[in-house]
Amino acid sequence: MKKIIFALFILSQMINASSDCPGKFINPITDICWKCVFAIRIAGVKVAKGGPDPDSTPRRPICFCKGKTPPVPVPGIPVSFWEPVRLVDVVRKPFCLVNMGGMDLKGTSYNRGDREENSKKQLNTSFYHVHWYVYPILYWLEVLIDFICLEKMSIDLAYLTEFDPLWNDDAKTAILNPEVFLFANPIAQMACLADCAAASANLPLDPLFWCGGCQGSMYPLTGNVGAATSGLQSSLLISQRFMFKLHRQLMLWGYMGKEGQCRKYPMPIMKKSQYRLQLTYPVSEKCHPLGSSETLWQSGKEYPYKGSDFGYLVWRKRDCCLTPIPIKWD
C-alpha cells in the first residue's frame, strides 16, 4: 500500500495541476465507512447485522464449486458480505480526477458539464463526465489475508467517458439499450415512484430496472440529465447510469446469489440491490442503496467551487463459496 501511495504522489507531480480541478485522495481510515461491509452471513446465518441487505445467500450450511481444476465438486462454506471495489468521479470538467487528489490530465476546460438553466422551458439540465477506478481496498490493505473471496486486482484508472463517443449522445447510445423506447412513457415513469419509496425504506426494486429511484430515470445511458434539481441528485443518477452501462457492455458482472457463489456471471441488466454508493468527496458520508432519497443527508454535501464535483465509493454485495482450495476455471 505504501508503494501505491508513493507512486500516486510521483504521478501527481508529473500531471498538470489546476485550481479548477478540486479533489482529494481517500483516507482509508477516516473516509471509508467500514460499517458498510455488514451484514455478514456465514453458512446461511447472519453473524453481523448491517444496513439494507438483499437476502440472496442460499440458506444452506454447505456449497459446492466445480472448475477445470479440480474437475470434481469441492465443498465449501457459503459467505456473504459487502466489498468496496470501485471509485467513481462525477465531474463537470473533463479529465479532472477528483478521487486522485484533483489531478488534471488535460489542463483544458472544454465541454464543461455545468448545470444550465433554460428560462423558456423552465428546465435545469446538466452534463457530467465519469471516471471509473478499480479499487479493491480490502485486498490491498490486507484486512483479510489470503481470503479467496476477495477481488485480487491492482488499483487502476479503468474508464474515462471523455473517450466514449456514446456518452454525450442520447440517440446513439440507444445502440446499447434499444428497450429505452418501451419506457419513454408516463406510465413506466410513474412506476419509479414505487422504486424511490422502496429504495428509501429498504432496497431498490430490481424488476424496475429502468428506474433510478428517487433520482430519476435510468435512461438514457449518457451523462445528460434533463431535470437536474441539484448536483448531488445528478451525480447519484449519473453514477447509477454509468454502472448500468458497464453491465450492458459486459464490463461489470454479477456476484450475488447462488450463481455468484463460485464465479462471476454475465448481468446485462443490472440488479440495483447488488450495490451501495458512498459519497467520498466533497464530504464523506455513509453508504446508501441505489436510488434512495438524498433529501435527509444532502445538507452540507454540496457547495460552490470545490464542492460541485463528486466522488463515490462503490460497495458490491458478494456471495462466495469459501472452499479449502482455490478453484481454477481456465
* Mean pLDDT in residue range 279-290: 95
The burial of 57, by beta-carbon neighbours within 10 Å (0-12 exposed, 13-18 middle, 19 or more buried), is given as: buried
Residue 107 in grid coordinates: 489542463
Q: Highest mean pLDDT: which of 70-79, 119-128, 200-209? A: 200-209
Strand boundaries in the chain, DSSP class E: 40-42, 45-48, 63-65, 74-91, 96-97, 103-104, 116-118, 123-127, 129-134, 156-160, 224-225, 253-254, 265-266, 275-281, 287-289, 310-322
Q: Which amino acid is at 158?
A: A
Where residue 124 falls among pLDDT bands split at 50, 70, 90?
Answer: confident
203-211: long-range contacts, CB 8 A cutoff, minimum separation 24: 203/52, 203/53, 203/54, 203/272, 203/273, 203/289, 204/272, 204/273, 204/289, 204/290, 204/291, 204/292, 205/272, 206/271, 206/272, 206/273, 209/244, 209/269, 209/270, 209/272, 210/179, 210/180, 210/183, 211/291
Where residue 58 falls among pLDDT bands split at 50, 70, 90?
Answer: confident
CA distance 259 to 267: 11
Where residue 74 falls among pLDDT bands split at 50, 70, 90?
Answer: very high
* Mean pLDDT in residue range 317-327: 88
What pLDDT sits at residue 144?
A: 55
Q: Which residues of 77-116 are buried (b: 16+ CB within 10 A; e: fewer)?
A: bbbbbbbbbbbbbbbbbbbbbbbbbbbbbeeeeeeebebe
Where residue 117 falls among pLDDT bands split at 50, 70, 90?
Answer: very low
- From residue 131, alpha-carbon distances to 69, 147, 278 in Å are 37, 28, 16
Residue 307 in grid coordinates: 464542492
Where residue 14 falls among pLDDT bands split at 50, 70, 90?
Answer: very low
Where residue 60 falls among pLDDT bands split at 50, 70, 90?
Answer: confident
Q: Which residue has the higher pLDDT, 251 or 18?
A: 251
What pLDDT sits at residue 223?
A: 95
Listed range (46-50, 114-118, 127-131, 216-220) with the worst mean pLDDT: 114-118
Q: Highest mean pLDDT: which of 32-46, 58-72, 120-134, 279-293? A: 279-293
Q: Is residue 79 predicted with pLDDT exceeding 50?
A: yes
Q: Is residue 108 predicted with pLDDT exceeding 60?
A: no
What pLDDT sits at residue 229?
A: 87
What pLDDT sits at residue 37?
A: 92
Q: Is residue 297 predicted with pLDDT exceeding 80?
A: yes
pTM above 0.85, yes or no: yes
- From residue 5, alpha-carbon distances to 1, 8, 12 in Å are 6, 5, 10
**C-alpha of 214 from chain center:** 16
What pLDDT sits at residue 109?
A: 45
Which of 279, 293, 165 shows the shortest CA–CA distance to 223? 165
Where residue 13 falls among pLDDT bands split at 50, 70, 90?
Answer: very low
Tell me what the pLDDT averaged over the chain comes to.
86
